[in-house]
Structures are given as C-alpha cells and as structure tokens.
C-alpha cells in the first residue's frame, strides 16, 4: 500500500512538473512576443532630452540585425536636445531605412531635435494634440559677473586664444563674439532645415517658412506636411506591419528603457534634464548648441 502511494505521488509530481514546463513554453512563445515565431515589429523608445545617442543607436542596430523584425517604430517623446546626438540618431535612422520599414510614433512632445529624428523615418504618426515642430537652434549662456561682484568673487581666466572663453559666466559677451556664435547657429539651423526637407521630401523653401522655432499641434503638422497621419502608438505599429507586409495582428518587440538618472528622478524627466544641461553650460566652454524646445517658465 505504501509503495503504491509513493508511486502515485511520484507520478503526480512528474505530471505537475510537465504542466509547469508546458506553461512556461506557452508563455514564452505566445505572450513574450520577442521570442515567438513569425514576423514582428520592433519598438524603440526615445524619451527626454537627447544628450547621448549610443544607447538608442545600439537598440536600433540590435533590432536591425534580427531577421524576424520587419519594421521598427520609434516612439518619440522628447523636446529635443544637443545637436550632435540628434544628428547621430537621425543618421542611424537613415541607414535603418535601407534594411527595415521605419515609422515614428509621436507621444506628448516630439519637437526640435525630437522632430529632427522623426523626419528621417518613412512615415510619421502623431496624436492630434502632440506638440511638435520647434524647428530651430538655441544656445544659452549665464552671466554671473554682477552676482560675483556683489559677493566679492572674481573669476580668473587664462586662455591661449582670443575666443577660447566665449560664453564664460565671468564676463559679458562682446558684439563680435555674438556675431561669431550667430554664424555657427545659422549654419546648424540650415542643417536642420535641409535634413527635414530631405527626410520629408519637401522643398527647402517650404521648410524655411516653418522653421522659425514655432510649435505646432499634431493636427496642424499634418496639414503642413510635417506629419503623415494622426493616430496613436498602436496605429503606428499597425502601419509598420502593413508596410512590411505582415498579415494579421503583428507581434511586437519592445526594447528596454534606460533607467532614469538622479536629476530626472528628483525633478521629473524634462525639468531635471533641462537644468542639468543648463548647469553644464555654466562652465567655461561647456555650452551646448541645442535643437531643443525649452521648458516653459512659470
């Protein structure tokens, strides 16, 4: 009797073990879309102020190398950021289009550098109320000369060349320095306009009329040709699947989001990053030229 009970319990244990293994396999194959069979749509998220492109570009390249990923959606929720990083991501999206179909889904905001990146995609899908546009360039300096004077501090700069301390917080900028910086900004602005014209298939003259830094709603952007259609993330995923010829409901692979830093945790994504960049710009020679929609004051 004891032996029969042991055999029964052993068989029952094996049954439950097999059941658990089958359940895990079903979960992996049918619930985890990144492992299941069939063609898929990948989603890469671009959030916050853009200051470093490597993490995003690595995610793009990882999905680009997968044969089962037929289209990639870039979910952009960003007011832009530093010029160089935005341009690096833009270039990576251009190369990606040679391998996959690329669709952008705009979140709450996809402005300035966020729109710069979006313009490289095959198609752009925006919510009607998304804040976008802000095609322009900005650089900011902080002048602490009067404050230092009031508290008895004086900055000392030793430089090897005439313009090496442009933007120093220890003094006001000279007119010729303002003109020099303006020439750089004009050139970078021209690059922005040309990138949008190329990406959107528009004439440069058409983009110039819109490139005065103003923002647009998603609905306005569609009317102006800056956006292809109105819709949400799921609409963008379905569009990507349609472009790639995927039949039925597409499986979706979401890349991992980067963990927020201390500034973002304390002050919020945009505000924290904005003031971090502002403080970085206070250092002599530390200013950054930005494709950035500024954080509203007040």
In a domain, 29, yes or no: no
Q: What is the pTM assigned to this prediction?
A: 0.80
Cβ neighbours of residue 52 closer than 8 Å, sequence gap 6 or more: 85
Decide if 183 is inside a domain: yes
Is residue 7, in this structure, part of any structural domain at all? Answer: no
- Whole-angstrom CA distances from 177 to 7, 142, 167, 180 are 89, 15, 9, 5
122 within a domain of the structure (yes/no) = yes
Nearest to 51 by CA among 77, 75, 76, 85: 85
Q: Which helix (H) or strand (E) holds 9?
A: helix 2-26
- So which residues are the catalytic ones? 112, 164
In a domain, 87, yes or no: yes
Which of helix, strand or coil describes residue 15? helix
- Is residue 225 left, alpha or beta, with left meaning phi > 0 and alpha meaning psi from -120 to 50? left
| Residue 130 within a domain | yes
pLDDT tens digit string along 194-212? 999 999 999 999 999 999 9
Rounded Cα–Cα distance for residues 187 and 70 (Å): 37
- Counting residues of the chain whose pLDDT is more than 90, the rounded percentage is 61
| pLDDT classification of 26: cutoffs 50, 70, 90 | very low
- Alpha-helical (H) ranges within the chain are 2-26, 54-64, 83-96, 113-118, 145-150, 175-200, 204-210, 218-224, 233-244, 262-267, 269-281
pLDDT at residue 9, rounded to an integer: 60
Q: Is 226 in contact with 124 (CB distance < 8 Å)?
A: yes
CATH number for position 266 = 3.90.226.10
- Is 88 inside any structural domain? yes
Task: Give me the pLDDT at residue 170, please.
Answer: 86
* Residue listed under structure tokens 């006001």: 172
> Would you state the pLDDT for residue 143?
85
How much is the pLDDT for 154? 85
The parent domain of residue 58 ranges over 38-292
**Residue 144 — pLDDT band, cuts 50, 70, 90?**
confident
Task: For the beta carbon of residue 197, count every other beta carbon within 10 angstroms.
Answer: 18
Residue 3 has pLDDT above 80, yes or no: no
User: Residue 263 above 90 pLDDT?
Assistant: no
Q: Does 20 map to a domain?
A: no
Is the per-residue pLDDT at 49 higher than 80? yes
Q: What is the pLDDT of residue 251?
A: 94
Q: 89 φ, ψ to 5°?
A: -70, -40
At residue 5, the pLDDT reads 58
DSSP run (H or E) holding 111:
strand 101-111
Nearest to 92 by CA among 116, 66, 69, 110: 116
Lowest mean pLDDT among 2-6, 47-51, 214-218, 271-275: 271-275
The residue among 167 and 269 whose pLDDT is bigger is 167
Tally of domains in the chain: 1
């Amino acid at each position: 009797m004891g032996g029969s009970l042991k055999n029964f319990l052993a068989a029952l244990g094996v049954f439950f073990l097999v059941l658990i293994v089958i359940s895990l396999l079903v979960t992996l194959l049918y619930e985890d879309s990144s492992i299941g069979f069939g063609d898929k749509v990948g989603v890469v998220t671009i959030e916050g102020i853009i200051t470093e492109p490597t993490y995003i570009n690595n995610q793009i390249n990882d999905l680009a190398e997968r044969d089962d990923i037929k289209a990639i959606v870039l979910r952009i929720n960003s007011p832009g950021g530093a010029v160089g990083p935005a341009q690096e991501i833009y270039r990576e999206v251009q190369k990606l289009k040679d391998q996959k179909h690329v669709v952008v889904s705009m979140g709450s905001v996809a402005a300035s550098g966020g729109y710069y990146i979006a313009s490289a995609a095959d198609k752009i899908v925006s919510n009607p109320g998304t804040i976008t546009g802000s095609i322009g360039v900005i650089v900011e300096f902080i002048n602490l000369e009067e404050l230092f004077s009031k508290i008895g501090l004086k900055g000392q700069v030793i430089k090897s060349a005439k313009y090496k301390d442009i933007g120093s917080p220890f003094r006001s900028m000279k007119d010729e320095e303002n003109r020099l910086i303006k020439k750089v900004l004009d050139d970078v602005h021209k690059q922005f306009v040309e990138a949008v014209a190329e990406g959107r298939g528009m004439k440069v003259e058409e983009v110039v009329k819109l490139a005065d830094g103003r923002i647009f709603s998603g609905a306005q952007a569609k009317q102006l040709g800056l956006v292809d259609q109105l819709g949400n993330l799921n609409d963008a995923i379905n569009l990507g699947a349609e472009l790639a010829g995927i039949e039925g409901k597409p499986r979706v692979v979401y890349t991992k989001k980067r963990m927020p830093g201390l500034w973002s945790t304390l002050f919020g994504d945009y505000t924290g990053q904005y003031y971090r960049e502002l403080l970085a710009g206070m250092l002599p020679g530390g200013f950054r030229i930005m494709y950035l929609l500024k954080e509203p004051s007040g």
